[in-house]
Amino acid sequence: MARVWTVAFMIALLVHSAQSQRTSAPANFILGDSLVDPGNNNYIGTLAKSNFPPNGIDFQQGATGRFCNGRTVADVIVQLANQPFVPAYLDPKSRGTAILGGLNYASAAGGILDSTGANYIGRISLNQQLQYFQKTQQEFAQLLGPVGAQQALSKALYFFVIGSNDYINNYLLAGSQTARQYTPKQYEALLVNEFARQITALYNFGARKIAVFNVGPLGCIPSQLANQRSVDGSCIQFINDYVQGFNRALGLKLNDLATTLTGSTLVYGNSYDLVFDKVVNPQRYGLTVVNQGCCGFGRFNGQIPCITGLRPCANRAQYLFWDPFHPTDAVNVQLGREFFSGGLSSISPVNIQQLGSLP
């Protein structure tokens, strides 16, 4: 009996300590795709993996499964808040009191639609990520009690970085069944309505402070420059038109949700304009190469991803793209700073720092 009491007492102490450490720092929950995947895809059967060098060449932990030479934009944001990197949900160490600081459910090739990313075989769709979060909600209740869990989850910050794969690994694929089924405007509406349902589901699980980041200029990424046979490395306009249509519709939908999800604060991060300005004004950001990957192979280094044996560029801080799809660490730092403390042209109606300070 004494031993049972000792174990229970130790668990209570651990929970109390974890709660105390988080009083001034809300938990962070991240849902999304490879732009913010910290290594969830290491634990599933998928072709979308990056847990090998030269990925992570500039990251303190090495090749963790991040699709970058260094940090993701989510890593940068939490660092600016003086918080630790958010652990991958599927990491076996993400259990017990370790989850109280938040979890990252993001998965490379994942999308708003369940069908997105099937060309990579395994991936965690946004619907599946929400199911994982529901389990996390239950674990919070077990650790903190129902009232304590509700309070912690309502103060937490939630980040959605999703939607890119619904185009590049679904609608824009050669022979895409989705593209035959929907016009671009119909597909845009399908995505936005489904995404709104998913945001609402997260709200119903207890989320109140939610940041949604729009889709960047996919017509400018090396993979699309290669696939669409850009002659001179200029962006593919029709793809950017698709993305801009989606982003406009998403912004309007978030305005609607802000009026119906009582007590919530919905923040809209303008990834598109921030990245596109780097494409057209690279010198302003210390960049010299904006239309090819630092690590890859083929036209614009956009046809083969950053695999073992490839030698990345030496001047990585001067490249916009690390590989055929993802920004470099240097660019993620710039984006993270804009989202964390930038003005209304970068993120609105408040930035992440302000969002975290709301009661």
Rounded Cα distance between 337 and 322, Å, is 19
Angle at 201 between CA 197 and CA 207, to 5 degrees: 130
Catalytic residue among 33, 58, 166, 323: 323
> Is residue 173 a contact partner of residue 117, using CB atoms and an 8 Å limit?
no
Residue that is written with structure tokens 């700073």 in the block: 337
Beta bridge partners, 11, equal none
The 10 Å Cβ neighbour count of residue 301 is: 28
The 10 Å Cβ neighbour count of residue 270 is: 21
User: For residue 272, what are its two tokens?
Assistant: 């598109």
Query: Among residues 325, 294, 312, which one has the least CA distance to residue 109?
Result: 325
Query: Among residues 123, 121, 125, which one has the least CA distance to residue 111?
Result: 125
Catalytic residue among 34, 50, 230, 271: 34
DSSP sequence for 118-180: GGGS----HHHHHHHHHHHHHHHHHHHHHHHHHHHHHHSEEEEE--SHHIIIIITSTT-HHHH
- Is residue 16 part of the annotated active site? The answer reads no
User: For residue 354, what are its two tokens?
Assistant: 């302000």
> Is residue 87 a contact partner of residue 75, using CB atoms and an 8 Å limit?
no
Q: How do beta strands 265-269 and 209-213 pair?
A: parallel
Beta bridge partners, 157, equal 28, 209
Catalytic residue among 33, 166, 264, 326: 326
Rounded Cα distance between 291 and 221, Å, is 7
Catalytically annotated residues: 34, 323, 326
